[in-house]
Structure formats: structure tokens, C-alpha cells
Structure 1
Amino acid sequence: MKTLLTICALSFASAAMAADKCPISGKPADPSITSTGKDGKTVAFCCEKCKAKFDAKNK
């Protein structure tokens, strides 16, 4: 059970760290530049160019 909890904790930690990166470029995300994906989740980007690319793919 302890191993399962450790795996879950690591999964959540890596998901939180990934949220700090732009999904297009991989650079650090600017929390003021966001868009909403098809799944309804808010996504942050490093710049307006990356946001535009994301929006074009997710219309």
C-alpha cells in the first residue's frame, strides 16, 4: 500500500510540474497567457504564438 501511495504522489507531482511548461514549446508558461482545451481544462503558454497554435488545433 505504501508503494502505491508513493507512486500516486509522484504522479501528481510530475503532473503539477508539467503544468508549469508550455505544451507547445516546453518553455516555462506565463500564467497570464491561457486558453481552454477541448476537455475544458485551462492551459498556460509561454507566448501568444504558442497560444495561437494551440487554439488553431483545438477549435
Structure 2
Amino acid sequence: MKHQDEVIIDISTMTLWDSTAVEVIDKLINKNKNNGIKTTFIGANKQSEELLKKVSKNIA
């Protein structure tokens, strides 16, 4: 089984509503990072992007 170096997650069909959703994303990013995997999120709508920038410890 080949190890993936990067995971790209498309969140264009969802909206992040609160900090709990961002905390789950941060946990996923940290878990993957600890396993040597880069995690990239694409397609965030404006509301989700603003919340990610405000709350996330991993996404600037």
C-alpha cells in the first residue's frame, strides 16, 4: 500500500457554522501532519473561509 503525501478535501458543498466544525478540521490536520501527510482544504465559501481564518490554529 502506497503512503499518500497529501490529502485534498473539497468543502465546496458545505458551510462551517461554528468553532466546533473548525476544531474537527484542526484535529484532522494535526493527525495527518503527525503522519507526514499535508492536508489542504479547497472550495470554502466566504462564511466558512472567514470562520477558518478566525478560529483555526492551522489555517491562516
* Shorter-chain TM-score tier: 0.3 to 0.5
Higher relative contact order (CA 8 A, sep 6+): 2
TM-score when normalising by structure 1: 0.33
Structure showing greater Rg: 1
